[in-house]
């Protein structure tokens, strides 16, 4: 058993990381932004004792020294998984809303570990395809861990997408710079997923507060997208349970030290998602776009993105779930939320 600090415990991906950590016998302390959010995590795990699952409040990771107290624990932490970072495309002030929490949060937790948690030997940071993707590359370019988004600091205010991609790129770069310059007593691994889909198991006040990557599925099953299928955008995806397992394996396996992991199951399109929902949930058919309304969700074969996910398979031993399983389980989880399960 390893004692692990997990940041952003209330999030979509973190909820799965937390369950995977518990399933694999680890002891977890999750950071959350409020007492209430922490209590909800404990309530969702009624049979797990405090010695295996607890929380600590870190209100705002953008603040200096936000993690100063959170990294100290008895028994002490051996690993840290840092998922907390804002993920949305509605920022009007990218510097304050996205870059400050992403950058200060990443740099802050690494400094706090080095200063106050010498028992930590491994750190895993959730980065993103956003830190690898280059808008100037041709569609069939094959992405791998060797790629970096070349975005410049003065481009982050161009639009909210650039703001988010900049936040992930600069935060991940800062993490690797820290390792190089500070030479701490821990290793780093980053997980770089594209769009993450799958069952929502974190608490949501309502479907309005669903995480960004599952918005398209919510909009499809509620009829919001009936007149026009959402555009697919960058067409690589991965299931949240595979992403969660990758984070945990990256913390467990010595071979994962000081590596980036590009986590993707391959290409998808929103039109394919509509097809899966229509097949598996006939009662939702009248909510879904059809005919001409489906066209915006298409990704023509020539626009599918090249990818090399071999490192995640070889080093972590990861296998990837198919799109059908991910979409079906996502829809079931959202139907459960709509029913108030």
Nearest C-alpha neighbor of 252 from the set 14, 21, 6, 11: 21
Best CA proximity match to 20, nearest among 110, 67, 105, 81: 81
**Cα separations (Å) of 64 from 38, 100, 101, 225, 310?**
22, 10, 10, 41, 38
Site map 168..187 versus ligand NDP, x via CB under 6 A: x-------------------
Q: Of residues 83-142, which lie at the interface with ligand NDP (CB under 6 A)?
A: 83-87, 101, 126, 128
8 A C-beta contact, residue 193 and residue 128:
yes
Binder of ligand NDP out of 91, 195, 236, 265 (CB under 6 A): 195
**Shortest Cβ distance from residue 66 to ligand NDP (Å)?**
7
Answer yes or no whether residue 60 interacts with ligand NDP by CB under 6 A. yes
- Choose the binding region for ligand NDP from 12-20, 115-123, 267-275, 297-305 (rule: CB under 6 A): 12-20
Choices 9-17, 179-187, 228-236, 315-323 (CB under 6 A): range interacting with ligand NDP: 9-17
Residue with the shortest CB distance to ligand NDP: 11
Asked if 305 and 241 touch (Cβ cutoff 8 Å), the reply is no
Max Cα–Cα distance, the chain, nearest Å = 59
Q: How far is CA 271 from CA 281, 291, 326, in A?
A: 15, 11, 15
Binding to ligand NDP by residue 10, rule CB under 6 A? Answer: yes
Using CA atoms, how far apart are residues 331 and 313, in angstroms rounded to an integer?
27
Q: How far is the CB of 110 from ligand NDP (least distance, A)?
A: 15
Stretch that binds ligand NDP, among 114-122, 190-198, 219-227, 284-292 (CB under 6 A): 190-198
Partnered with residue 122 across adjacent β-strands are 79, 187
Q: Which residues in this chain contact ligand NDP in the complex, by CB under 6 A? A: 8, 10-14, 33, 37, 58, 60-62, 83-87, 101, 126, 128, 168, 193, 195-196, 211, 213
């Amino acid at each position: 058993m390893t004692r692990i600090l997990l940041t952003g415990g209330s999030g979509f991906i973190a909820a799965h990381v937390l369950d995977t950590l518990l399933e694999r016998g680890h002891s977890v302390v999750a950071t959350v932004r409020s007492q209430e959010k922490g209590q909800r995590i404990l309530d969702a795990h009624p049979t797990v004792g405090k010695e295996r699952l607890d929380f600590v409040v870190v209100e705002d990771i953008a603040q200096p020294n936000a993690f100063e107290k959170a990294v100290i624990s008895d028994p002490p932490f051996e690993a840290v998984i840092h998922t907390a970072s804002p993920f949305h495309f509605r920022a009007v002030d990218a510097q304050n809303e996205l870059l400050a929490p992403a950058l200060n949060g990443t740099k802050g937790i690494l400094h706090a570990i080095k200063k106050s948690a010498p028992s930590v030997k491994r750190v895993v940071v959730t980065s993103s395809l956003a830190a690898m993707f280059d808008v100037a590359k041709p569609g069939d370019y094959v992405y791998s861990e060797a790629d970096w988004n070349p975005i410049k600091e003065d481009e982050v205010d161009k639009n909210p997408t650039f703001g988010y991609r900049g936040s992930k790129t600069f935060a991940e770069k800062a993490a690797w710079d820290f390792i190089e310059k500070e030479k701490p007593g821990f290793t780093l691994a980053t997980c770089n997923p594209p769009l993450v889909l799958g069952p929502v198991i974190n608490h949501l006040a309502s479907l309005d507060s669903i995480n960004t990557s599952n918005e398209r599925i919510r909009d499809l099953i509620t009829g919001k997208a009936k007149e026009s299928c959402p555009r697919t955008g960058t067409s690589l995806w991965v299931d949240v349970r595979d992403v969660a397992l990758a984070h945990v394996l990256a913390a467990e396996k010595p071979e994962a030290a000081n590596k980036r992991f590009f986590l993707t199951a391959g290409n998808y399109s929103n039109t394919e998602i509509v097809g899966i929902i229509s097949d598996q949930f006939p009662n939702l058919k009248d909510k879904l776009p059809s005919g001409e309304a489906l066209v915006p969700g298409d990704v023509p074969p020539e626009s599918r993105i090249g990818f090399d996910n071999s490192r995640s398979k070889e080093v972590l031993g990861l296998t990837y779930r198919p799109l059908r399983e991910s979409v079906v389980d996502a829809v079931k989880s959202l139907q459960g939320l709509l029913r108030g399960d």
